[in-house]
Amino acid sequence: MSLTDTQSELDHRRLPIDRVGVRGVQFPLSIADRELRPQHTVATVSMAVDLPHQYKGTHMSRFMQVLHSHGSELTVANAAAIPRELLNRLEARRAHLELRFPYFRSKAAPVTGTQGLLDYGVLFEINAEADQTDFVVTVSVPVTTLCPCSKAISDRGAHNQRGVVTLAVRFTQPVWLEDLIELIESSASSPLYSILKRPDEKFVTEAAYDNPVFVEDLVRNVALKANDHPHITWYRVEAENYESIHNHNAWAMIEKPKVDNPDRE
């Protein structure tokens, strides 16, 4: 039985398509942490290629076959190879992969040392063309922020809240997620923890009070460290505070140009 291959038919609209593929695919993922221990998580996957103007459609099932070609759990090494496999399998000139997943890290509470897992958000974006690959790693790190203005003007207390810092980087050599997470956590009023006993809670409360930051301070603190990092060539850092005194959020962003312009203010 021969079934029509509608996708391979000629298209006459003379319109190439920038990206076409699949989105919202759930797939198990294994990733090694900085101590080289494997960690199991679940990724939401997008894959796309370009489509030349003369073809009516891409072959969607091939994306899924490439995704499954390494077994029923992806590794980061396998995932990184997917865009190049898409180039071959779909005869494309540009291929794109996104993996979004929760990532865990065990942290010791600051006084009692009680260990607890904290979850972070991670996004890998890989673009491949014939002769080059672009890899962007993004981490989202929840932190405590305490308002410098509220502290300065109030006789007691200071409003504080959970915030999220999102840092995207390009790099010359791979950077551990833990390094990016620590870079961010050390830029806030306090890191978060999943287990805090009373001596720990006293510690983080006082540490946050002693170290107030605006969202502006937070993105600048992260930007300074990213500027100094030997392997980071580009970054975009955002901070968003779920303000405890408002029902809206405060937000700031700095993006480092791909080529620095010393005259930029």
Restricting to residues 82-111, which ones interact with a copy of itself according to CB under 8 A? 102, 104, 106
CB nearer to a copy of itself: give 132 or 248: 248
Q: How far is the CB of 63 from a copy of itself (least distance, A)?
A: 9
Strand partners, 49: 20, 95
Interface with a copy of itself (CB under 8 A), residue from 39, 75, 78, 127 = 39
Residue 150 in contact with a copy of itself, rule: CB under 8 A: yes
**Which positions ≥6 away from 35 have C-beta within 8 Å?**
none
* Among the listed residues 4, 132, 173, 261, the single contact to a copy of itself using CB under 8 A: 4
Is the Cβ–Cβ distance between 17 and 82 less than 8 Å? no
Q: Which of residues 217-246 bind a copy of itself (CB under 8 A)?
A: 217, 219-220, 223-224, 240, 242-246
**Burial of residue 121, with CB atoms counted within 10 A of its CB: 0-12 exposed, 13-18 middle, 19 or more buried:** middle
Shortest spacing between CB 259 and a copy of itself, in angstroms: 16
Q: How far apart are CA 265 and CA 26, in angstroms?
A: 43
- Does residue number 258 form part of the binding site for a copy of itself (CB under 8 A)? no
Residues paired with 237 in a beta bridge: 167, 254
CB contact at 8 A, 49 and 127? no
For the bound state, the minimum distance from the C-beta of residue 168 to a copy of itself, rounded and expressed in Å, comes to: 13
Contact 129, 93 (CB under 8 A): yes
Q: Which of residues 40-69 bind a copy of itself (CB under 8 A)?
A: 40-42, 46, 48, 51-53, 56-58, 60-61, 64-65, 68
